[in-house]
Chains A and B, each alone.
Chain A
Amino acid sequence: AIRMTQSPSSLSASTGDRVTITCRASQGISSYLAWYQQKPGKAPKLLIYAASTLQSGVPSRFSGSGSGTDFTLTISCLQSEDFATYYCQQYYSIWTFGQGTKVEIK
């Protein structure tokens, strides 16, 4: 099974900061990677698929990059509503999630 490892597990940031989260796959997955945002008590929300394609309705301050085994999610200018937990997920071979990255207020 393909393992997904995110780093960091948590980070503290301020509104307006640029935030980067990384995700590494245990084997190459081409660009078959999605990013999700989850707020407490809510279902995950799809942000990005195909590593870099923004889902409809998602603000342009979110961006994704990478291919093969290494991927990043960047929030260019953190807003108050972006404090949440973010998960990467590969869909190259069945489905596997990363362990999550919690973005907290500094």
Chain B
Amino acid sequence: QLQLQESGPGLVKPSETLSLTCTVSGGSISSSSYYWGWIRQPPGKGLEWIGSIYYSGSTYYNPSLKSRVTISVDTSKNQFSLKLSSVTAADTAVYYCARHFRYYDILTGSLYYMDVWGKGTTVTVSS
């Protein structure tokens, strides 16, 4: 059974870089059927997609965060990672990683929805 586990520091200082890793177990990150991504949820608020990556390294980022976000993949470790630079208190949130499952449509090609999620990790930005 596929499982995703987020890991990284729970406390980050303002202006520094937030770094998280998602470890995939029970399946290969190198499958052509999936994207892998990050989503966050500030306290008491809704879900915000951050960005996603294919095993080849192809990425998509949320335009509102693009200038500060880097997502990378390490297929040898079955992991993908998130870096968010110049953090402020507004970046305090629960951060989730998720698998994006491929849905093929003859008209539009391959599109991906999020079917398996990690449990999430809380990151607080504070000095």
Contacts and interface: CB of A to CB of B under 8 A. Distances in A.
B44 to A, nearest CB: 11
B113 A87 contact: no
Nearest to B118: A43
Interface in A58-106: 87, 89, 91-92, 94-100
Contacts of A49: 101, 103, 113, 115
A89 B120 CA distance: 19
B37 A43 contact: no
A92 B113 contact: no
A44 B103 contact: no
Interface stretch (B18-26, B47-55, B75-83, B85-93): B47-55
A87 B60 CA distance: 21
The size class of the interface chain A forms with chain B is 20 to 34
B11 interface: no
A97 B113 contact: no
Interface in B25-79: 37, 46-49, 52, 60, 62-63
Contacts of A1: 63
A95 B117 contact: no
Nearest to A9: B46
Of the four ranges (under 10, 10 to 19, 20 to 34, 35 or more), the interface on chain B belongs to 20 to 34
Contacts of A34: 113-114
B115 A97 contact: no
Nearest to B119: A43
A97 B39 CA distance: 10
B2 interface: no
Interface in B95-127: 96, 100-101, 103, 105, 107-108, 111-115, 117-120
Interface of B: 37, 46-49, 52, 60, 62-63, 96, 100-101, 103, 105, 107-108, 111-115, 117-120
28 contacts: A1-B63, A30-B105, A30-B108, A32-B111, A34-B113, A38-B47, A43-B96, A43-B119, A44-B96, A44-B114, A44-B117, A45-B117, A46-B114, A50-B103, A50-B113, A87-B46, A89-B47, A89-B114, A91-B100, A91-B113, A94-B49, A94-B52, A95-B37, A95-B49, A95-B52, A97-B47, A100-B46, A100-B47
